[in-house]
Amino acid sequence: MDKQQVMKALEEIKKQPNRKFTQSYDLVINLRNLDIKQTQLDFFVTLHFPKGRKIKVVAFVDQLLRDQAKEHCDLVIEEKEFDNYKDKKLAKKLAESYDYFIAQANLMPKVAAAFGKVLGTKGKMPNPKLGCVVPSNANLEPLIQKLNFTVRLTAKKATNLQCIVGKENQPNEEIIDNIITVYQVAVKQLPNELQNVKDVTLKLTMGQPVRVL
């Protein structure tokens, strides 16, 4: 995939009818020759440019990170408040309402016990690979900034990978860069790389998909 291919797809998309709201660009990588039951894909990509939607983050912390978390995160849940979420309905609502969950490393056993069943099912437990399990002296600001530029791609049932790569009011250069960044990382996650890519399409929220590759 190169910039010219993506630019051509963007030009085609821009010919489609305008909507009364700012739409998002969705990138879809359709897969082939891949047994999803044997190879379940679940990975993160950090983009160079905004994806157009601010994320919402929950922090599981104690007093050591409380003030920082309140400054940078959308919701802070301290250890003493864990029991408030014993009600599964509240826990499920929490999981559905927030994008990422971070936790102090020393609290992880208690986080797992209190929230593991619900967050684990949603694939939203604090992820060490993404840097979401932090020491008690962590600087949370760069982590939150990184998460705002991060997208997650999964293929556990359907044979495609899909994510938002920006908004239609962003410069073409940013959208192009984000698309190529996602594509390059995604290919490396596939067992047979390019042999597992059927095609790649791009679409606006309410638009028709246009083939990129």
Q: How far is CA 93 from the centre of its chain?
A: 18
pTM, two decimal places: 0.92
Q: Is the pLDDT of residue 156 over 90?
A: no
Q: Which pLDDT tens digit goes with each residue over 103-114? A: 999 999 999 999
Q: Which CATH architecture has domain 57-139?
A: 3-Layer(aba) Sandwich (3.40)
Residue 162 pLDDT more than 90? yes
CB-based burial label for 75 (10 Å; 0-12, 13-18, 19+): middle
Give 188's pLDDT tier (boundaries 50, 70, 90): very high
Is 90 exceeded by the pLDDT of residue 10?
yes
3 state SS for 75-116: EEEEHHHHHHHCCHHHHHHHHHHCCEEEEEHHHHHHHHHHHH
> In a 3-state reduction of DSSP, which class is residue 43?
strand
Rounded CA gap, 205 and 213, in Å?
A: 19
pLDDT tens, position by position, 21-62: 999 999 999 999 999 888 889 999 999 999 988 899 999 999
Q: Which fold has domain 3-51+149-211?
A: Ribulose 1,5 Bisphosphate Carboxylase/Oxygenase (3.30.190)
pLDDT at 191 over 90: yes
- Delimit the CATH 3.40.50.790 region(s) of the chain: 57-139
Residue spans in the chain of domains classed CATH 3.30.190.20? 3-51+149-211
pLDDT score at 33: 94
Q: How many Cα atoms occupy the beta-carbon half-sphere of 16 within 13 Å?
A: 17
